[in-house]
Structure 1
């Protein structure tokens, strides 16, 4: 069964809009775990507009399940935070400063040497690495040459095309996954996966190990309840 990691950034966005500690981001992480999530994801950005570095430090020792930190490693303070906290996994995402949300994967050919260095730093600290990539075969091949253990497939393109033509939408991701499996890379995925498109994606991507879902799941939780939403997403990841 593919694992579900719940991205709790949106809880921090709501908290920060009013100040104080409501909702409690640490409680949101622990509740995700308690309600059946296989892990928790956070994506701290340099301006700390949602998840704060202090949140990351508070969450790691409290969790019993997997902790995944996403972010742009060009920020030295992000690298330092990851090495300090030592999550189970770090996902390297090429966000620009002030970017609203992640919208593209790494050019693993152009940035190969840089990624090789980063992957080595994190691996030497005992932290599994994952590189955020588009479903492009050259980028998958480039990722394999960095020494990373996993890739995370950026799935916005799939989600946008899914409603009109799900077969066409999934095709490049299946090819990317088949190549990743051949090259010995573990496969994660995330961005705009939801209750409508997740089951089909999970059923068709060979070797899918983990999905990281935040925005859609938290939106559904507003109507369905947090625990119920997590369970519904996990049900989409059950094969057969």
Structure 2
């Protein structure tokens, strides 16, 4: 079964909009795990506009499943990850002013840079994943960095699938096949939802984990967090 990691950034966004501690990020993480989530993902950004660095520390104390911290490996981010030693660090090439992740790494151009960071993370017992576009060249480059996994950036698939273009999944299937052949684990995330997740899972081999936040939280507004998580788990079997 493909694991579901729930990204709780949007819970922090809602909390920060009003101040105080409602909704409580830590409690939501506990509840998500209780409802069946097999991981918790956060993506702290330098401006702390949603997840705060203190949240990362607080969550470390209570996450009982897999703890995935993703972000651009600037010094502050690396210091946080090396201190907390989460299950997985997902490296994402976010611009400082990016609203959300919008591109994967050029693993050829940045091979040396990524190698250095990944070797340090792995020395500290942290599983590493690189956020990449569905390009065979980028998968080959990722394998050379020493990463444990890649996370396929799925926005293009989600957009095309919503238009009825089911062939949009093919590059992802090809990349997952190559990644597996090269010894890389396969994760995926961005704009995956209850609408498209089962089709993606059924057509992309070797899928170990999906990280889902925005869609899952939006769906939970209507259906409730527990029911939505159960729906995802069913579709990922």
1:88 Cα deviation (Å)? Answer: 0.2
Q: Does 1:62 align with 2:62?
A: yes
**2:28 matched to which residue of 1?**
28
**1:90 matched to which residue of 2?**
89
Which structure 2 residues correspond to residues 70-89 of structure 1 after superposition, within 5 A?
A: 70-73=70-73, 75-89=74-88
**2:153 matched to which residue of 1?**
154
1:165 Cα deviation (Å)? Answer: 3.8
Structure 2 counterpart SS, 1:145: helix
1:227 Cα deviation (Å)? Answer: 0.5
Aligned equivalents of 1:164, 1:222: Cα separation in 2: 24
1:167 Cα deviation (Å)? Answer: 3.0
> Normalization by structure 1: what TM-score?
0.98
Aligned equivalents of 1:165, 1:228: Cα separation in 2: 26
Native 8 Å contact 2:160 2:166 kept in 1: no
Unaligned runs of 5+ in 1: none
Q: Which runs of 4+ in 1 moved over 4 A?
A: none
Structure 1 counterpart SS, 2:68: strand
Q: How many residues align?
A: 237
1:163 Cα deviation (Å)? Answer: 2.6
**2:208 matched to which residue of 1?**
209
Q: Does 1:188 align with 2:226?
A: no
**1:177 matched to which residue of 2?**
176
Aligned equivalents of 2:165, 2:64: Cα separation in 1: 36
**1:228 matched to which residue of 2?**
227
RMSD: 0.7
Structure 2 counterpart SS, 1:62: coil
Aligned equivalents of 1:165, 1:24: Cα separation in 2: 38
Aligned equivalents of 2:203, 2:43: Cα separation in 1: 27
> Normalization by structure 2: what TM-score?
0.99
